[in-house]
Amino acid sequence: MHPSSRDAASSVSPEEIARFSALASQWWDPTGPMRPLHAMNALRIEWACRHFPMRGRTTRHVRVLDIGCGAGLASEALAKAGHDVLGLDASADGISAARAHLDAHPLLAGSGTLDYRVGSAEELVAEKAKFDAVVALEIIEHVTDPEAFMKMLSDLVEPSGMVIVSTMNRTLRSLAVGKIGAEYVLRLLPIGTHEWRKFLTPAELGRFGREANLRIEAIAGMTPSLSGWKKSRDLSVNYIAAFRKG
């Protein structure tokens, strides 16, 4: 939900970074402004891990980059699932909160490794860093150039590696539910969190992926229910997609 971009100076506005930095101290409060992320996190992580590439014949435990990790909600869950994770965010406040939470809640034996870094993904591209999988969860709707962002994700993943993107569809239902309902009626999110015009349709996301040498392999809707968020065929609001490079 926190932005990161190929060009931190131009693709993400200072206002976006400041907005999410201001929420860093409340990120881990399951009843706070990030409660929608807490609610959907188990589904996002389980679905993403299921689509990670195989390393050898027997394991999916891979090297993962969590772009725009905020205070580390997804990063910690990925590490607990056994993956070696780098959480990256442009917000120093977000990374500080992520490190503080990890210090207070150390990973258990059997978990993967977890490191955090303040900076932009563009820096990693310049360093020619590569990962088995890259996850970008609730981020692409915050960048100014989603097409360039997808190209950057492709640059950061190994050949045959996987890119996982979750975002919101640009539909009348998402306007009513994901924007007006979530921010103004139910107050599940701070007002101004999303700009509906920047939501991406699955067709647009798929096209940006193809142009970046990323082939979509799976897509699913994410729908809230009384028992928690579940996978569905309904892509009209929240959805998650898996792309393979090459």
Task: Provide the pairing of β-strand 238-245 with 63-67.
Answer: unpaired
What does the block give as tokens for 81?
Answer: 């699932």
137 is known to lie in a ligand binding site: yes
Task: Provide the pairing of β-strand 230-232 with 214-223.
Answer: antiparallel
Q: Which domains does the chain have, with CATH numbers?
A: 14-245 (3.40.50.150)
For residue range 34-70, what is the model confidence (pLDDT) as tens digits? 898 999 999 999 999 999 998 776 677 999 999 999 9
197 is known to lie in a ligand binding site: no
Task: List alpha helices for 51-143, DSSP H.
Answer: 73-80, 92-104, 121-126
If you search the block for the tokens 């998402």, which residue do you land on?
174
- Structural contact between residues 114 and 107, judged by C-beta atoms closer than 8 angstroms: yes
If you search the block for the tokens 């239902």, which residue do you land on?
173
Residue 3 pLDDT grade (very low, low, confident, very high; cuts 50, 70, 90): very low
172 is known to lie in a ligand binding site: no
155 is known to lie in a ligand binding site: no
For residue range 103-141, what is the model confidence (pLDDT) as tens digits? 999 999 999 999 999 998 899 999 999 999 999 999 999
Q: pTM of the full predicted structure?
A: 0.90
What does the block give as tokens for 226?
Answer: 């009384």
pLDDT > 80? residue 175: yes
- Structural contact between residues 210 and 150, judged by C-beta atoms closer than 8 angstroms: no
C-alpha to C-alpha distance for 156 and 125, rounded to whole angstroms:
6
Residue 10 pLDDT grade (very low, low, confident, very high; cuts 50, 70, 90): very low
Gyration radius of the chain's alpha carbons? 16
For residue range 206-218, what is the model confidence (pLDDT) as tens digits? 999 999 999 999 9
Mean pLDDT across the stretch 7-35? 78
The pair phi, psi for residue 119, each rounded to 5°, is 155, -175
pLDDT at residue number 58: 66
